[in-house]
Structure 1
Amino acid sequence: MDLLPRAFVQVAEGESSLTVMQWNMLADQLANDFPAVNEENLSWNFRRPRILFEIERFNPDILCAEEVDHYADFLEPELIRLGYAGFFQKKPSWHRDGSAIFYKTNRFTVISNEVCHFEGRNQFALGARLLDTWSNKEFYVYALHLKANKDYEDVRVNQIRSLIRHLEPIDYTKSLILCGDFNSLPENPAHLEMFNNQLGLRSAYRDIFSQGEVPYTTVKIRNSLQKKTEDYIWLRGFQIQSLLSIPSLEEIGPNGLPSPHYPSDHLSLAVRLI
């Protein structure tokens, strides 16, 4: 299947032992407001196999996904077939989509899982405490999707503060993976709340790109071209061995995403960890 060319770029010596992917998959319910994109490329039948292929080709040990609205009839059975199990939490109110965490069953044992709701809002953090039976290492992983719209940065700041308070009791010696669509640009207040946190978290891609975060994780045309960085992987207790490259604007094409060669308006992120 002809998807955007991408590859893992090694940044540290050593053999990677854990691959983590973060991806806002674009909910079927929300695949409509893309005036420059051919309707066929927005259809679920077109996007469905390409979503699966994007996961298969990078073969993550752990997948954190947002805007999932075909969990029971697509994502869960397909990933079970590939050796995964997972958790899903739907957003309340009118939304059909939610967030999911998948993990490989031949490697991880689930100690516990939870949903951390943000007061008075549809957003939440989905979390799990996992034991890696290959390394006997215990760690926590969370997937979240913060409030959208540029006018709600103060809401996102409060959601981050709520999450940090929730995570503070975790033993500092325990490793932590936090993935999501934060809907906040680099150096905006919500992003800075994460960057300046007291949990010892660091942004995986910022760690590598000394100039800052990657230039974009979503590229789309609404009234005009929108090129933004909103998706992040935050880590504690892991070393980064390699990370998934970001395709160029030329490779993405003038009409942005989704496209014939990519099924979501957000690019997946992935890291290989030591």
Structure 2
Amino acid sequence: MSKSLFRSLMSNIIKITRKKSSGIGRPTANKMEPRYDYNRQWTLQPKLATKPLFTFKLISYNILAQDLLMQHLYLYMNRPEELLTWRHRLQKLQREIIKLDPDILCLQEMQYDHLAMLVQRLTANSGKRLEYVYKKKTGNRTDGCAIIYDATKFKLISQHGVELYDMNVPLLDRENVALLAKFRLKQSSRDRNAKESQEVVVATTHLLFNPRRSDVRCAQVTKLLNELHIFAANSSKDCSSDSNKKQSLPDSYTTPVILTGDFNSEIDTPPMTLIRSKGTDDSSLNFKLLNPGDYTASTYQHEWITVDYIMHSDCPRSKQKLDVLSVYLLPKIHSCANAGYIPNHYLGSDHYSLGAVFALVPK
């Protein structure tokens, strides 16, 4: 090797060494950290024919209550112990939710004594003015359902906690609950002259897990649908002060409804068939299920399956309707298998989150 070539090689080695020692040229933290959502994407739906009155993003997530994790620790024995601590999982959940940036967040298995801390952290990192409603399970359970919302965009009109327990009904003997909230969308300055208020009902639930008790889940769905039907109904007197207009309106109208949650039921099972069944009168909610993608899964129950859903009503009696602008697709089953069991280094729950962007449009 010539002396000139040797000097050139040594010079390059010294430059590389200096860059490494000074940190120059190192990959950033984001590049070093594998993306936890590499197999997730938002899909765009067909363009709307009508200009939307309001658009918002909603996320639904069973975040795995820490008390339930500890009670069923045998289900998670194949994971490092430090990944199962609430401290670790909270960090991962917080990061994921902030990244998704929802306007409304529906949570299942939200432990009551962890809720305030989660909201505080999300508020501090998002800069939003977050408020929430909550319904704890009946009995001695420490978890329940929560709806967290951006109070700069939504005004809470009413809320209703539904206990799916009824001592007079043999099949309704479990401690599951649902939470219903009616919001009025806060209008921007250009929309304040709108003739009608823009409202939406958001509901979330967590049905019984026992795979053998589809009959119990059907009873729970029946009660939930009845409660939703009542909660979403409005008198025409509430929506207009114009007497001539009142005469042209039906006796009542139905606020559009979004229903989310962990239904512990696959799509072709009786509880989901019952929810999606089309009613015979114009007050029926007629729920439409959002397609989370083909061959996808939301959790692992002896195999990768989907039991978590987002759906919206299509009621003839509603004056406005919900259209879907985008859906956050669930991961493919093969991607779930490759990523391994959850929670893990990147995900804080044993379920995957679901999401959608909705538009409220006039009929």
Same fold (TM over 0.5): yes
Deviation at 1:173, TM superposition (A): 3.8
Q: Equivalents in 2 of 1:73, 1:173: separation in Å?
A: 33
CA 1:37–1:249 in 2, change beyond 3 Å: closer, same or farther? farther
> Is 1:219–1:228's contact at 8 Å kept on the other side of the alignment?
yes
Residue number in structure 1 paired with 2:121 = 78
Using structure 2 for the length normalisation, give the TM-score: 0.68
Q: Amino acid of the residue matched to residue 163 of structure 2?
A: H
Instruction: Note the 1:185-264 alignment, pairs <5 A.
Output: 185-198=266-279, 199-205=285-291, 209=293, 215-219=296-300, 225-236=302-313, 237-252=321-336, 253=338, 255-264=340-349
The structure number with the bigger radius of gyration is 2
Partner of 2:358: 273
Give the alignment of 1:50-129 within 5 angstroms. Answer: 50-69=92-111, 70-81=113-124, 82=126, 83=128, 84-118=130-164, 119=166, 120-129=173-182
Letter in 1 for 2:176: Q
Shift of 1:249: 4.3
**Is the aligned partner of 1:155 residue 2:216?**
yes
Aligned-pair distance for 1:137? 1.2
Cα pair 1:164 1:197 within 8 Å, conserved: no
Shift of 1:79: 3.3
Shift of 1:250: 5.0
Within-5 A mapping of 1:161-180: 161-169=222-230, 170-171=232-233, 173-180=254-261
Runs of 4 or more off by more than 6 Å in structure 1?
Answer: none
Shift of 1:73: 4.5
Distance in 1 between the 2:214 and 2:46 partners? 35
Relative to structure 1, the CA distance from residue 86 to residue 161 in structure 2 (aligned partners, 3 Å threshold; closer, same or farther) is same
Equivalent pair of 1:71/1:88 in contact (CA under 8 Å): no
Query: Is 2:3 the counterpart of 1:3?
Result: no
* Cα gap change, 1:72 to 1:185, in 2 (>3 Å): closer
Residue of structure 1 equivalent to 2:262: 181
User: CA separation in 1, counterparts of 2:339 and 2:122?
Assistant: 33
State the secondary structure of the residue aligned to 2:76: coil
TM-score by length of 1: 0.89
Q: 1:35 to 1:226 in 2, by over 3 A?
A: farther
Stretch moving more, 161-170 or 147-156: 161-170
The whole-number CA distance in structure 2 between the counterparts of 1:239 and 1:203 is: 12
From the two aligned structures, give the one with the greater helix fraction: 2
Amino acid at match of 2:184: L
Q: For 2:148, what is the secondary structure of its paired residue?
A: strand
How far apart, CA to CA, are the structure 1 residues paired with 2:115 and 2:58? 22
Instruction: Measure the CA separation in 2 of the matches of 1:266 and 1:179.
Output: 14
Q: Which has the higher contact order (CA 8 A, sep 6+)?
A: 1
Q: Which runs of 5+ in 2 are unaligned?
A: 1-32, 167-172, 192-196, 234-252, 280-284, 314-320
State, as a whole percentage, how many aligned pairs show the same letter: 26
CA distance in 2, matches of 1:61, 1:112: 18
- Residue pair 2:297, 2:333 contacting (<8 A) in 1 also: no
Work out which of the residue numbers 85, 89, 95 in structure 2 matches 1:47.
89
Q: Could you tell me which residue of structure 1 aligns to residue 80 of structure 2?
A: 38
Partner of 1:123, secondary structure, is: strand
Task: Give the Cα–Cα distance (whole angstroms) in 2 for the partners of residues 49 and 255 of structure 1.
Answer: 19
Describe the superposition over 1:192-250 as per-residue Cα deviations: whole angstroms up to 9, x where unpaired.
111115312111126xx5x6xx6311136xxxx42111101110231111111222345
SS in structure 1 opposite 2:291? helix
Distance 1:98 1:190 in 2: 20
Secondary structure (helix, strand or coil) at the match of 1:57 reads helix
RMSD: 2.1
Contact 1:110 1:128 in 2 (8 A): yes
